[in-house]
Chain A
Amino acid sequence: MQLDLPLLSLVIWLPIIGGLWVIFAGSGARERGVRYDALIISLVTFALSLLLYRDFDLTTASMQFVELHPWIASFKINYHIGIDGIALPLILLTTFTSILVIAGGWEVIEERVNQYMGAFLILEGFMVGVFSALDALLFYVFWEAMLIPMFLIIGIWGGPRRVYATIKFFLYTFLGSVLMLVALLYLYAHAHSFNLADLQATALTAAEQRWIFIAFFLAFAVKVPMWPVHTWLPDAHVEAPTGGSVVLAAIMLKMGGYGFIRFSLPITPDASASLDSFMIALSLVAVVYIGFVALVQQDMKKLIAYSSISHMGFVTLGLFAMFDIYAATGDWKNAAMGIEGAMVQMISHGFISGAMFLCVGVLYDRLHSRQINDYGGVANTMPVFAGFMLLFAMANAGLPATSGFVGEFIVILSVFKANFWYAFAAASTLILGAAYTLWMYKRVVFGEIRNSKVAALTDINGREAAILTALAILVLVFGIWPAPLLDMMHASVQHLVEQVAQSKISVAAYE
């Protein structure tokens, strides 16, 4: 059932226009007053996205809520949006996280409050745009536009080394995405269309696919981020304000995984198949190598940033193991399992990493330090906070009954079918993930009160408790009953697998 309202467009443009309004209406005396406006806008946007979920048809893989209007007719560029079961959960994650970010910056941000809130709302709209664009150029526009508010958020409200971090962040991601643009233009020349479905159907030779795959790879691998193009992330996280870190970890990293699913796999299936060992190797390096690196971090945010990279390794692993799984079992159904595992991992990582950064933010707001050594014995003065952080730390360590377990579990089970040693390396996260997360937790939260600053800490207030409670509920619900999340994506993943299973080379040679 489709509503007459352009619901999807509303979810994209309401926060963008609302964000602009917040910035302009909130100048001068009303600077702090517009926080309520921003909160309301984010809540309404979330409610609208829930309507998307309500009216979403789980049985079909075809795009829903499609809107198609000519934009630049001479180049056949359209304002073409729509969602399937892969985009929907990510959009819900985006609209949900945005509420938390607005609420999270409530009293903490004291300068340019209106601009801060506005930037996040605009960013939200762009991110939803990325997940719903069905026109490659529209996708590219949203993709690049998204960088601007993020660049400003880190650059204005960030820490002392924010300039280095923003430039690094910008150059890294921009370099990758420029190559994506080149690839898209090449594809346009081939298919005479920017319509994603057309691009996915375009026949390409093996060599063409390989070059396009590499160009896409650079754009998406930076975003995920995959080893070795990950070093911008720890710097960006450390310097970003809490809200920035939350959006970065919870949503922006997912753009990379989404890009692989939407572009690399269906547009260049043969190249994906032939380069899969390379992708798997990088993923496993991320899981293991970065796991070790996380262990020795002294800065809490850096530690969580590295932990994010390690967890995102499961996403790329689950996506690209599909070819080996198929080769080993002869059944594409098994391959779908890896992709679904990757999707679950993305959503769950959104909750957990967001929650972890919020926890660090709670501590940072009080003590203005992210160094593990400045803490110790926090449980004595902040028992409620300690309880929340324990839950999220355990989720980060992949404890069953939290959402953190589900994705890793499915991915490990599915890659085992491809190769025992893939699963072996991936499962090391059970030990490493627990080691770095719980070791940090021990040093920060447990023990005697370490210094007078910790002794003076006050436990979380109602606003912070509300934010963390919302996340805690989601982490537990999707740990105990993840079925609804997977049911959302079955049809679309099935469709994706069918697309990827279809070689494009022979068709290209025929043409």
Chain B
Amino acid sequence: MKELCLYIVLAPLAGAILAGLLGHVIGRAGAHWATIAGVGASFLLSCVAFQRIVLGGEAPLNENLYVWLSTGGVDFHVGFLIDQLTCTMMLVVTFVSWMVHIYTVGYMHDDPGYQRFFSYISLFTFSMLMLVMSNNFMQLFFGWEAVGLVSYLLIGFWFKRDSAIYANLKAFLVNRVGDFGFLLGIAAVLMYCGSLDYAEVFAKAPSLAETTITLIEGHPVSLMTVTCLLLFVGAMGKSAQVPLHVWLPDSMEGPTPISALIHAATMVTAGIFMVARMSPLFELSQTALSAVLVIGSITAFFMGLLGLVQNDIKRVVAYSTLSQLGYMTIALGVSAYSTAIFHLMTHAFFKALLFLAAGSVIMGMHHEQDMRHMGGLRKHMPITWITCLIGSLALIGFPGTAGFFSKDMIIDAVKISTVPGAGIAYAAALTGVFVTALYSFRLVFMVFHGKERMDHHTQEHLHESPAVVTVPLIALAIPSLMIGAVGISPMVFGDYFGSSIVLNHEHAELMERLHEEFHGAGEFTLHGLMQPPFWLAMAGVFTAWFCYLKQPSIPGKVAAALAPVKRVLDSRYGFDAFNEWFFAGGARGTGGLLWRVGDVGLIDGLLVNGSARLVGWWAQVMRGLQSGYLYHYAFAMILGLLALLAVFVHKVLA
């Protein structure tokens, strides 16, 4: 099993090294064959691991590979923990990655950086696997930052574009803000648990539930709350939760395949995975869970709204990703970890599908991304159209599709939850359904239906994408339809996750109640047809149809009537402007001030050069005394004599 895991992670790494360092030797075809083979092997072996651990009921593997370093009596390991949660993630990551690799052959066909691209996405797969397969916090952080590095490289893949290299720096720095919290959280774990290995930490954690620490004199706070919140700051960065979400929309500057792989299906869900993995810790702090819940609600609702005003096809999908990540975070907040992972999985399929479909559209449109210049594409790109429709239906939670099961389950869980903040979350999740349906079908209608608004030249050359593009679309459309019905019973209610997710007594009851109301996927679907989410979704689709196909003049009128709201949405709530002004400008200002006043002014100006000048000045004064004129010296002698005489006389008289 250990060897198996090694092959799973090393296969993509080998591909990445081959394509990256020897790209010019093996050529373009060599690069894509090497990496596709590597990731393909990784996927197949992951299936074996899944078969053995999840289906075969083999005991989870928890083994160290080597000692990374040991210091202060603590050994830091590199090792694997392969349990049900890990296996699920491995399958999702390697499968989506594999599809994206294949798709890339078509999408990046004419790009001069072909080999480099393949090297990066294989490196990403390696990093992501190291992240999910880790058995300790240190390696988790390794993978965490490594996927951030690859994300940086890929957002800035077209490094000549100013917007791309602005976006990748921004993404890296915002993620570093998250990592800042994450690292402190890890430090807290090490200090109180004396180890960074999951097994030891989770075993020790319950005994620390009542421990308090004092950060500000006189205000002791719960250790677990502080630790979990710090860890969650890391999740907020990676999984783009408000207010650390600002980098994700900009990350769309990267080529579309990586938007699908990294910025929708896998990397951005690392935060969700991490919180689920840390369930034994988060279960010990209700405060932290409530914070998670509220942040998730804000993200789910407000980021969804922004999807309504985007005209760039990729940005619509990007905001929908933000919103869906919010849903997953909501699920975490009400301790429905299994549901969160379930939604993570279904979302990975249908969102990767949507991005790849968008990429197919972009290819067909000759790199035009503005939906206002599209329309009526369904005749030209039938496969893209159908698959995109499937993805959209899954996204809005149309009964029977994958997204339906996972999203409705989240809404149900929030509905019956009694956690502080659950009320807000329920409202946000429910209205979010309408918003999701509206922007999703706005996209579908604007792109595939209605009048053809592109210029003549583009129109003439419209055609369906080649098979390397459409086959991955179809391959992703299938799980987008099916995986929900298949997965819901075992994953949410069964003993699927085994010991990899831990619930405290109270939260276990919530899942019990959900289970009581659940009577199989079929009935859940029928039941869903009568529930508010379904009708809200239908209302959203209808509104989209009415506004963007039937009466296309309406959106303009609405926008005019609600101009202030539109302005707020167009400015993305002002986050970017504020960050640019306060953080970026503030940091440069502080740096300039400290440098000019502190270093140049005080230390060098006053102290260093000042003391040099003082010596110079003193020398000047002394030099003035040594004039060389005899009468100056004679005068000085007379003054000296007079002074001595005065002292002498004074003493004698006294």
The answer to whether B146 and A400 have CB atoms under 8 Å apart is: yes
CA distance A442 to B160 in the complex (A): 10
Could you say which residues of chain B place their CB within 8 Å of the CB of A294? 591
Given A377-B160, A439-B169, A231–B176 Cβ distance below 8 Å?
A: no
The answer to whether A430 and B179 have CB atoms under 8 Å apart is: yes
Could you say which residues of chain A place their CB within 8 Å of the CB of B186? 413
The answer to whether B145 and A420 have CB atoms under 8 Å apart is: no
CA distance A293 to B68 in the complex (A): 34
The answer to whether B475 has its CB under 8 Å from any CB of chain A is no
The CB with the most chain B CB atoms within 10 A, among A228, A336, A413, is that of: A413
Q: Which of A293, A431, A442 contacts B165 (CB 8 A)?
A: A442
Q: In the complex, which residues 305-356 of chain A have their Cβ closer than 8 Å to any Cβ of chain B?
A: 329, 331, 333-334, 336-337, 340-341
Q: Which of B74, B149, B156 contacts A446 (CB 8 A)?
A: B156
The answer to whether A446 and B588 have CB atoms under 8 Å apart is: no
The answer to whether A481 has its CB under 8 Å from any CB of chain B is yes
A contact patch SS: helix
Could you say which residues of chain B place their CB within 8 Å of the CB of A63? none
Q: In the complex, which residues 365-407 of chain A have their Cβ closer than 8 Å to any Cβ of chain B?
A: 377, 379-380, 394, 399-401, 405-406
Q: Which of B142, B160, B588 contacts A401 (CB 8 A)?
A: B142
Q: Per-position contact with A for B112-128: 1 when CB-CB < 8 Å, else 0?
A: 00000000000000000
Could you say which residues of chain A place their CB within 8 Å of the CB of B595? 292-293, 296-297
The answer to whether B645 has its CB under 8 Å from any CB of chain A is no
Q: How far is the CB of B606 from chain A (nearest CB, A)?
A: 11
The answer to whether A431 and B72 have CB atoms under 8 Å apart is: no
Could you say which residues of chain A place their CB within 8 Å of the CB of B190? 413, 416
Could you say which residues of chain A place their CB within 8 Å of the CB of B188? 416
Closest to A167 in B: B612
The answer to whether A400 and B594 have CB atoms under 8 Å apart is: no
Could you say which residues of chain A place their CB within 8 Å of the CB of B418? none
Q: Per-position contact with A for B595-606: 1 when CB-CB < 8 Å, else 0?
A: 100110001100
Q: In the complex, which residues 279-304 of chain A have their Cβ closer than 8 Å to any Cβ of chain B?
A: 289, 292-297
The answer to whether A428 and B180 have CB atoms under 8 Å apart is: yes
CA distance A432 to B74 in the complex (A): 29
Could you say which residues of chain A place their CB within 8 Å of the CB of B25? none
Q: Which of A293, A439, A486 contacts B71 (CB 8 A)?
A: A486
B contact patch SS: helix
The answer to whether B177 has its CB under 8 Å from any CB of chain A is yes
The answer to whether B70 and A486 have CB atoms under 8 Å apart is: yes
Q: How far is the CB of B608 from chain A (nearest CB, A)?
A: 6
The CB with the most chain A CB atoms within 10 A, among B138, B177, B187, B608, is that of: B187
Q: How far is the CB of B421 from chain A (nearest CB, A)?
A: 26
CA distance A333 to B598 in the complex (A): 38
Q: In the complex, which residues 280-297 of chain B have their Cβ closer than 8 Å to any Cβ of chain A?
A: none
The answer to whether B590 has its CB under 8 Å from any CB of chain A is yes
CA distance A427 to B234 in the complex (A): 13
Q: Per-position contact with B for A416-440: 1 when CB-CB < 8 Å, else 0?
A: 1100110110011011101100110
Q: Per-position contact with A for B64-93: 1 when CB-CB < 8 Å, else 0?
A: 001111111110000000000000000000
The answer to whether B95 has its CB under 8 Å from any CB of chain A is no
The answer to whether B159 and A434 have CB atoms under 8 Å apart is: no
The answer to whether B191 and A416 have CB atoms under 8 Å apart is: yes
Q: How far is the CB of A487 from chain B (nearest CB, A)?
A: 8
Q: Which of A172, A333, A412, A431 contacts B176 (CB 8 A)?
A: A431
The answer to whether B162 and A410 have CB atoms under 8 Å apart is: no
Could you say which residues of chain B place their CB within 8 Å of the CB of A292? 587, 590-591, 594-595
The answer to whether B466 has its CB under 8 Å from any CB of chain A is no
- Classify chain A's interface size: 35 or more
CA distance A400 to B136 in the complex (A): 14
Q: How far is the CB of A468 from chain B (nearest CB, A)?
A: 14
Could you say which residues of chain B place their CB within 8 Å of the CB of A412? 183-184, 187
- Total number of residue pairs linking A and B with CB closer than 8 Å: 135
The answer to whether B160 and A447 have CB atoms under 8 Å apart is: yes
The answer to whether B172 and A434 have CB atoms under 8 Å apart is: yes
The answer to whether A394 and B149 have CB atoms under 8 Å apart is: yes
Q: Per-position contact with A for B18-58: 1 when CB-CB < 8 Å, else 0?
A: 00000000000000000000000000000000000000000
The answer to whether A416 and B588 have CB atoms under 8 Å apart is: no
Q: Which of B141, B187, B191, B591 contacts A295 (CB 8 A)?
A: B591
Could you say which residues of chain B place their CB within 8 Å of the CB of A498? none
Q: How far is the CB of A267 from chain B (nearest CB, A)?
A: 24
The answer to whether A111 has its CB under 8 Å from any CB of chain B is no
Q: Which of B73, B165, B179 contacts A447 (CB 8 A)?
A: B165
Given A296-B588, A434-B173, A481–B66 Cβ distance below 8 Å?
A: yes
Q: In the complex, which residues 425-474 of chain A have their Cβ closer than 8 Å to any Cβ of chain B?
A: 427-428, 430-432, 434-435, 438-439, 442, 445-448
The answer to whether B69 and A483 have CB atoms under 8 Å apart is: yes
Q: Per-position contact with A for B153-192: 1 when CB-CB < 8 Å, else 0?
A: 0001001101001000100110011011001101110110
CA distance A394 to B169 in the complex (A): 12
The answer to whether A105 has its CB under 8 Å from any CB of chain B is no
CA distance A435 to B587 in the complex (A): 10
The answer to whether B145 and A399 have CB atoms under 8 Å apart is: yes
The answer to whether A168 has its CB under 8 Å from any CB of chain B is yes
Could you say which residues of chain B place their CB within 8 Å of the CB of A176? none
Could you say which residues of chain B place their CB within 8 Å of the CB of A159? none
Given A412-B183, A430-B176, A430-B180, A337–B72 Cβ distance below 8 Å?
A: yes
Given A231-B603, A420-B213, A447-B165, A293–B69 Cβ distance below 8 Å?
A: no
CA distance A354 to B67 in the complex (A): 28
Could you say which residues of chain B place their CB within 8 Å of the CB of A423? 184, 187
CA distance A246 to B191 in the complex (A): 37
The answer to whether B592 has its CB under 8 Å from any CB of chain A is yes
CA distance A379 to B160 in the complex (A): 9
Q: In the complex, given contacts A231-B604, A410-B71, what are 5 additional A-B residue pairs having Cβ atoms less than 8 angstroms apart?
A: A296-B588, A296-B591, A336-B71, A447-B160, A448-B160
Q: Which 6 A-B pairs have the closest CB atoms?
A: A337-B72, A416-B187, A292-B591, A296-B591, A295-B591, A446-B165
> Which residues of A pack against B, CB within 8 Å?
168, 172, 228, 231, 289, 292-297, 329, 331, 333-334, 336-337, 340-341, 377, 379-380, 394, 399-401, 405-406, 409-410, 412-414, 416-417, 420-421, 423-424, 427-428, 430-432, 434-435, 438-439, 442, 445-448, 481-483, 485-487, 490
- Between-chain CB contacts (< 8 Å), 30 pairs: A228-B603, A231-B608, A289-B594, A292-B587, A293-B595, A293-B599, A295-B591, A296-B591, A296-B592, A329-B191, A340-B72, A399-B145, A400-B141, A400-B142, A400-B145, A401-B142, A413-B190, A414-B72, A421-B215, A423-B184, A427-B180, A430-B179, A430-B180, A431-B176, A431-B180, A447-B159, A481-B68, A483-B67, A487-B70, A490-B71
